Amino acid sequence: MPAQLIDGKVMAASIRRQVANDAAALLQTGLGIHLVAVLVGHSPAARVYADNQARTCHDLGIRYSLLELATDITQSRLNAELARLAADTTVTGIMVHLPLPAHLNTQETQYAIDVLKDVEGVNPANIGHVVYGHTIIAPCTALATVELIESTNVPLRGAEVTVVGASRIAGKPIALLLTERQATVTLCHIHTRDLCVHSQKADVLVVAVGKPGLITAHHIKPGAVVIDVGINRVAAANSQGHPVEKTVGDVDFPSVLPVAGWITPVPGGVGPMTVAMLLKNTLRAARLVHKLEKPF
Ligand code: NAP
């Protein structure tokens, strides 16, 4: 029997409805939700993303502002802008579009995002809190991954989980959140000697690398939950044989489908859930700023 699809779009839609309801309840008490997205320079792709974000926030009753800054802004000026947003009591959420121009330091910039307003959970302090299991605001992709796994009802406590890819923004926080849920977690990276040894024992396999086709059927334990975080644009042909680009994950979906028990598609799996987690975090940040919830 082929694997069951874990439908990130359906789950994300349900989370958005919940966020819309919670946002309406907050607004009724007279408290605001205001997300400010910072965009340095003039990237058309980031602009499209920001426009989509603005529409989504508007639909959910969340005020959204885009703060556009000049490409040649200095690091100290950018830090000062972030400090100003941190101090502004009308702003409840802050995010910075990446990538930044090469002369700016991403980590220094993320340090400058107020910890309580950091809706993407990218401030190293927020990533660090994952270690202590009492996240203030956790990284969106890691939250999305955990929710997708939990939707299968496969118990995480005691499960063998292998995470492939060890970046600060995806693989490592995912591994930490799953460790908190008492799974036995193996974290694989570029120097892992034999990936198959670790992937084949996994009840849950999470792949966050950025290499299409890295994981094929022979990597999979039959019946495993497979979460594909990767997003890759690859060349393909349309039905008329014309060259087109399509989006695929890191998992060779057609070969893994008959072996796995559950699998996330790409697109339509982790991607929409990561966006939904950003919205959930935006609500959490507003509640933290308004002191309706405690950080710990
Ligand atoms: P990244 O910073 O490039 O990290 C990739 C990680 O994979 C690194 O730890 C790298 O090790 C490791 N790696 C490289 N080749 C490997 C191999 N053959 N075997 C095992 N590990 C290997 O990328 P990222 O930001 O974590 O993103 C990973 C993928 O997830 C990308 O496709 C990205 O687009 C996607 N992504 C999706 C979402 C979403 O919402 N769906 C969110 C974030 C990221 P080294 O650093 O040592 O090379």
**CATH code (residue 182):** 3.40.50.720
Q: Is the pLDDT of residue 83 over 90?
A: yes
Would the pTM of this model clear 0.85, i.e. be above it? yes
The CB of 166 under 6 Å from ligand 1? The reply is: yes
Residue 63 resides in a domain:
yes
Q: What is the pLDDT of residue 213?
A: 97
What is the predicted pLDDT for the residue at 175? 97
Average pLDDT, the chain: 96
Domain residues for the domain of 102 are: 28-114
Structure tokens at 278: 């950003």
Q: Is 164 in the pocket of ligand 1 (CB under 6 A)?
A: yes
> What are the pLDDT digits (tens) for 183-222?
999 999 999 999 999 999 999 999 999 999 999 999 999 9
Q: Is 249 in the pocket of ligand 1 (CB under 6 A)?
A: no
Query: For residue 119, is it within any domain?
Result: no
Output the domain CATH number for residue 100: 3.40.50.10860
pLDDT at site 133: 77
Q: Which residues contact 41 (CB under 8 A, 6 or more apart)?
A: 69, 70, 71, 100, 101
Q: Does position 81 have pLDDT exceeding 90, yes or no?
A: yes
Instruction: Tell me, yes or no, whether 181 lies in a domain.
Output: yes
pLDDT at 44: 85
| pLDDT score of 228 more than 90 | yes
Q: Is the pLDDT of residue 23 over 80?
A: yes
SS3 label, residue 157: coil
Q: Does a structural domain hold residue 8?
A: no
What is the model's pLDDT at position 134?
78
Give the distance (Å) from ligand 1 centre to CA of residue 251.
13
Residue nearest to atom 19 of ligand 1 (CA): 190
Q: Are residues 54 and 108 in the same domain?
A: yes
- Look up tokens 């989006």; give the residue: 247
Say yes or no: 156 and 192 in one domain: yes
Peptide bond into 222 cis (omega under 30): no
Same domain? For 248 and 152 the reply is yes
Per residue in 239-270, pLDDT (tens digit) is 999 999 999 999 999 999 999 999 999 999 99
Same-domain status, 256 and 175: yes
In a domain? residue 86 = yes
Q: Is residue 160 part of a domain?
A: yes
SS3 265: coil
